[in-house]
Amino acid sequence: MFCPKCGAQLPDGSRFCANCGAQIAGASAPAAAPQAGHVPPVQPAQPVQPIKPGIAVSGLATNDLGMLVSVVAAFVGIVAFFMPIISLSVFGSTTTLSAMQMTFGATVYGMSMDGEFANILFLVIPVIALVVSLLVKGKPGAIARIVVAVVLLGFVFAWKGQVDDQGYGFFAMEIAFNLFVLSGAAVAVGGVLSMLKK
């Protein structure tokens, strides 16, 4: 059926026109088709909401640069867990160990070296930073990222101090140590950028 006033097509049995609001007389009987030559009025288009520019992260758009910085930095920290963090020099020979090997154990110079499970924090803290960066929004998320970054940096430097005290000069820091420091600093910077975002 069609509206006799504006010509809009309506479901059979309609009592009012959804387009112009006119009351439909004899709603139970189908209305006649609009007259030839009658053109229904054009309805104005709904205004289009502007799209804010953003950055795509895992299929989600975000305009929070601080969150993106923190996500990338946390991911770098996770990757660093599998990279060499220290090198051991004995009798002119050098071997490297990753935080993963120091957690679960490794064979060094033919000897089995037990791992220290506390070193799993090299992985756990960046994972927490990544989860917080992705899931906790706004200022609470920014503050949480800064706190996690401080914990990561504190743990990394405390671990280095312990190695320096007990290493007797046999150990040297490798690339993963620098990546953990940069990761912690960048997660903190990302949190600060999110705090300053309007």
Quick one: three-class SS letters along the chain?
Answer: CECCCCCCECCCCCCECCCCCCECCCCCCCCCCCCCCCCCCCCCCCCCCCCCCCEEECCEEECCHHHHHHHHHHHHHHHHCCCEEEEEEECCEEEEEEHHHHHHCEEECCEEECCCHHHHHHHHHHHHHHHHHHHCCHHHHHHHHHHHHHHHHHHHHHHHHHHHHHCCCCEEECHHHHHHHHHHHHHHHHHHHHHHCC
Is a pLDDT exceeding 60 seen at residue 7?
A: yes
What pLDDT is recorded for position 180? 93
Examine the domain organization and report whether 122 and 190 are in the same domain. yes
Examine the domain organization and report whether 78 and 4 are in the same domain. no
CATH code of the domain covering residue 150: 1.20.140
Is a pLDDT exceeding 60 seen at residue 53?
A: no
Is a pLDDT exceeding 50 seen at residue 55?
A: no
Share of the chain above pLDDT 70, in %: 77
Examine the domain organization and report whether 20 and 84 are in the same domain. no
> Domain span at residue 14?
1-46
Examine the domain organization and report whether 40 and 113 are in the same domain. no
Examine the domain organization and report whether 61 and 13 are in the same domain. no
Total domains in the chain come to: 2
Examine the domain organization and report whether 7 and 96 are in the same domain. no
